[in-house]
Each structure stands twice: as C-alpha cells, then as structure tokens.
Amino acid sequence: MAGPDPESAIAAGRQLHARGIGATFDLLGEDVLDREAAVRSAEANKQLLRRIPVEIERNISIKLTMFGLNISGEFCRENVAGLLDTAREVGGFVRIDMEGSKHTQRTLDLFHRLRETYDNVGIVLQAYLHRTPADVKEAIARGDRVRLCKGAYREPPEVAHQDMEHIRKAYRELAHQLLDHGSYPAIATHDEILVRDTLGYASVQKIPPDRFEFQMLYGLRPRRWDELVAAGHRVRVYVPYGTHWFPYFYRRLRERRENIYFVLRNLLGG
C-alpha cells in the first residue's frame, strides 16, 4: 500500500514513472451501503484524477460496490458516469475491478451500459470463473479493454475452478485469446509461469510489446517490473492507498502465506 492519502499514492506513481513503469491508483474501499458515502467516494476519485500530474497517466481502478452497486444499479451508474465525465475531461482512464461472483453479472451489465457512452473505461475478468470464456469472447467482440486476473475471492466449485493447475490452464487460454484478438489487454499476475507463457506466446505470434501490458500489485515482485521494462515490455503497477485497507490485505494473505511479510512491511511502514 502506498499510504493513507492521495499524496503518498502520487509520490509512489512518480517513482514508478521514473523507472518507466505505469500506475493505476486505487482508493481502497468496498461494500458501501450509504448513498452519501458512495457519492463521497466518487468525489474523492474525481479529485484524485485531477491531482495526478499530467506526466503521469491518469489511470485509476475502482470497485462498483464502493460506488453504490449494492444500493441501486441506477444510482451506481450515475455515480460512475460522473467519474467518467471527469476522466474524459482530464484524459483519464477508469478500470472497473471485478469483485465476488454475486456481483459479476451486475458489474458487467453496468459496464456495458457505460460503454455505450464512454470509451475511457475497462473491465476486469477473472480466469477462475467457469463463465469467463464466454465473457472474454463477448469482450473481444465488443472491443472492450480487459484486465485478466486469476480471481481473488473465495468461490464455490460450481462457480470457479479451485485448483491451481486448472486456474493456470484457464488463464493461459484466455490470455492467448486476448493477446490475439483483444483490445490492449492487461495480463495481471505475479505468477512466473504465466508471465513467461505470455512472453513466449507474444514472441511466437509476433505480437508487439505495445499491444498489451503486464500488471502487478504495488510491493509484489518489484525486481520483475524492472526486468520486464528493460526487455521492452509495458508494466503497470496497481497502487492502492487509503485507510480502508483490511479487505485488500486479507485477500493478499489468503493468496500466499509468503505475502505475510509484504502485509507486515506495509502495516509497519517499513
């Protein structure tokens, strides 16, 4: 985590920029059930978009449950549309993170409605969900910008693959489709097997490095970011900030025991 406020996030963004690495900024927060809090979240994100210095790309990630998805779909859509207007005004891009499976369809429906008016918005699809091959196909047909990740939420077997072998296989196949036919896909993983698979596939298929980007989380595998940039690839780091950090760290801890050091280092500010 970059810190509690936008200044710390922007400082992290500047350091990344100096290393040739992009950023997507995430004001931490989710599961908002109060309209005023959801509007405040949108305002805070608008301010962030305006404050990111021009030389750093104005790229942010949001969660729809922070913008009121659980209050009302229409309210949430209006709230996000306001943010996308600001993003358009300042040349920014907004990525809609994907949350747990009970939100997937509503998140996609809302995203599709927003895409009727905006082209500065992208979506996240999770390779572990059984439904995702169909969603990737649809995203390719629609020309939507997709970030592909494995998926961070605990899901039942009828909804998602459970073991790493199947998740990796699904990820690999979907990544190949997005690399071949997608609109500037983001390959979001720290998994070296998948990073190498992407590099190998792009090289064999002659997909130039400016047609896709790698994405990783702030604090995880920083040496790898530099190696990829040195090899001519695009890398963007997800920079979370704010005070509502518990669910984010909890998901990182569930993913890998080793991440406990990452979590402690962040909590202790070291």
Ligand X SMILES: Cc1cc2nc3c(=O)[nH]c(=O)nc-3n(C[C@H](O)[C@H](O)[C@H](O)COP(=O)(O)OP(=O)(O)OC[C@H]3O[C@@H](n4cnc5c(N)ncnc54)[C@H](O)[C@@H]3O)c2cc1C
Q: Does 98 bind ligand X (CB under 6 A)?
A: yes
The tokens describing 193, both together, are 């097997």
- Alpha carbon of 127 to those of 19, 66, 96, 155: distances in Å? 30, 23, 16, 12
Residue pair 96/67 in contact by the 8 Å Cβ criterion = no
Residue 151 lies near ligand X (rule: CB under 6 A): yes
Is residue 220 within 8 A of residue 262, CB to CB? The reply is yes
Amino acid at 197: D
Q: Could you say whether residue 226 binds ligand X (CB under 6 A)?
A: no
* Binding-site member from 86, 189, 198, 266 for ligand X (CB under 6 A): 189
Q: Among residue numbers 102 through 141, which ones bind ligand X (CB under 6 A)?
A: 124, 126
Q: How far is the CB of 192 from ligand X (least distance, A)?
A: 5
Q: Which of 97, 135, 144, 197 is catalytic?
A: 97
Residues 26 and 241: their CA atoms lie apart, in Å, by 6
Amino acid identity for residue 224 in this structure: R
Is 146 near ligand X (CB under 6 A)? no
Stretch that binds ligand X, among 34-42, 43-51, 132-140, 182-190 (CB under 6 A): 182-190
Residue 217 binds ligand X, judged by CB under 6 A: yes
Reported as type and span, the H/E element at residue 51 is helix 35-51
Is 210 a catalytic site residue?
no
Cα separation of the two ends of the chain: 11
Q: Which of 77, 145, 147, 236 is catalytic?
A: 147
Q: Using the rule CB under 6 A, is 216 a contact of ligand X?
A: yes
List of residues contacting ligand X (CB under 6 A): 97-98, 124, 126, 149-153, 188-192, 215-217, 220-221, 238, 255-256
